[in-house]
Amino acid sequence: MTATQLPHATAASRGLLSCHACYRLSPMTLEAGPCPRCGALLHHRKPASASRTWAFLLAAYLLYIPANLLPVMVTQSILGTQRDTIMSGVIYLWLSGSHMLALVVLIASIVVPLLKMMILTLLLISVRRRSTWRIREQTRLYALVEVIGRWSMLDIFVVALLASLVQVGALAAITPGGGALAFASVVVLTMLASLSFDPRLLWDALETSPPPIEIPHSDHARTH
Q: Are residues 10 and 97 in the same domain?
A: no
Higher-scoring residue by pLDDT: 133, 66? 66
- How many other CB atoms are there within 10 angstroms of residue 194's CB atom? 22
pLDDT at 62 over 90: yes
Helix/strand/coil percentages in the chain, nearest 5: 60, 10, 30
Question: pTM of the predicted model, to two decimals?
Answer: 0.72
Domain span holding position 4: 1-44
Q: Are residues 20 and 59 in the same domain?
A: no
Domain with 143 in it: what CATH number?
A: 1.20.140
pLDDT at 11 over 50: yes
121 in Cβ contact with 193 (< 8 Å): no
pLDDT at 181 over 80: yes
Q: Are residues 65 and 39 in the same domain?
A: no
Q: Is residue 88 part of a domain?
A: yes
Q: Are residues 20 and 110 in the same domain?
A: no
pLDDT at 57 over 90: yes
The one-character DSSP state at 11 is T
Q: What is the pLDDT of residues 126-171, one digit of tens each?
A: 888 888 788 888 888 888 888 776 666 555 565 565 556 555 555 6
pLDDT at 96 over 80: yes
Q: What is the pLDDT of residues 107-134, one digit of tens each?
A: 888 888 888 999 999 999 988 888 878 8
Q: Is residue 219 part of a domain?
A: no
Residue 5's pLDDT is: 42
- How many other CB atoms are there within 10 angstroms of residue 214's CB atom? 6
pLDDT at 223 over 60: no
Nearest in space to 108 (alpha carbons), one of 154, 48, 51: 154
pLDDT band, residue 203 (cuts 50/70/90): confident
